[in-house]
Amino acid sequence: MKITIVCYPTFGGSGVLATELGMSLVNHGHEVHFIAYKKPVRLKDSDKNIFFHEVKVPEYPLFNFQPYELALSTKLVEVVKLYSIDLMHVHYAIPHAYAAYMAKKMLKDQGFNIPIVTTLHGTDITLVGNHPFYKTSVNFSINKSDIVTCVSESLKQDTLDQFEIYKEIDVVPNFIDISKYKRQQELCLVENPNPNKERIITHVSNFRPVKNIKNVIQIFYNIQEKISSKLMMIGEGPEKEMAEDLCRDLSIENKVHFLGNTNQVEKNLCHSDLFLLPSTTESFGLAALEAMASKVPVVSSNAGGLPEINIHGETGYLTDANDIKSMSDYAISILENPKVLEEFKNRAFNKAESFDINKVVPIYEKIYSKALKQLK
């Protein structure tokens, strides 16, 4: 099967999932064409059946905002015709599903009939998509897709509550390549990056307000008062400077390390003892799943899809997003007892195994086949 995947090429969860899905589909014998405004950060295009097509938007003084959706639609038409694509899989309702529908209509006029599979990831529904400026277009884009999937039961319910959707929505969870994390754990066993035996706490995100970065720092402050520890902050975003200032105000700047973005987060996670994710909204929580795949228990909020991954009292703990005291107490209770910590680590990994890519990709293959059959 020849498939186009349209996604954001960034470090965010949707771009990571779309890229990993595409590379895995190639391993299953498919040909995959990625379409985006730049190469996805995790894309390894060494395989002969992986292609990347850049969407270029010419700069015209006439436009205050360059028409990316038009350029994307045009590129989709071009790629579908040139490579005889069977199916378009777009991640995010806007602008990707919207652009895909326009491409589909143009292709139909030229004798090509091609289905659209749209995967909803969260921000396109809970934040951007629900804005009055975009809601009508999002609603239209979802309903005009041939098949719609989303990454959690929580997001499915949010979509049905906030929009007038008549399409069936299939829940297909995010996934991780568990073998990659197993290999990294084996490498970590021969490394010794923590000779002082400090507990290592980690947070990974895009440092946006919904990630509650201030709470991450406050929780760590409480932890380090009781347990010798350091905090690894991975990612970039608008709240980073505030977080750095807060660390200085609390006099813990020497215990908090800001590492920026990385393509190999598993290298940092494999040395971690605990993962913090006090988000106010989280449609799935891919960062938490990546931590669990690295044998790292999670203390998180109970927002969105997180309770579907992080099982309270088993793989970590869940609280309200702003309950700093409970998160701190739960974190300390895990970290202060080596035996308890090891039990949480093992249970976290066992849960993560149920989200292995080899269990999820066949679900997408069935969805693709269903979409193609619906055209006949």
pTM given for the model: 0.87
* Helix, strand, coil % in the chain, rounded to nearest 5: 45, 15, 35
pLDDT exceeds 90 at position 186: no
Q: What is the mean pLDDT of residues 100-119?
A: 95
pLDDT band at 129 (very low <50, low <70, confident <90, very high): very low
Q: Are 95 and 68 in contact (CB under 8 A)?
A: yes
Q: Can you give the residue ranges of every domain in the chain?
A: 2-175+356-375, 178-353
The reported pLDDT for the residue numbered 62 is 64
Q: What is the mean pLDDT of residues 82-107?
A: 92
Q: What is the mean pLDDT of residues 39-63?
A: 81
Got the DSSP string for 293-331?
HTT--EEEE--TTGGGTS-BTTTEEEE-TT-HHHHHHHH
Q: Say what percent of the chain tops pLDDT 90.
A: 68
CATH class of 2-175+356-375: alpha beta
The reported pLDDT for the residue numbered 190 is 66
2-175+356-375 and 178-353 in the same fold: yes
The reported pLDDT for the residue numbered 10 is 74
pLDDT digits (tens, 9 = 90+) for 136-160: 888 888 999 999 999 999 899 988 9
pLDDT band at 69 (very low <50, low <70, confident <90, very high): confident
CATH class of 178-353: alpha beta
State the angle between helix axes of 178-189 and 286-293 in degrees (0 to 180), rounded to the nearest 10.
50
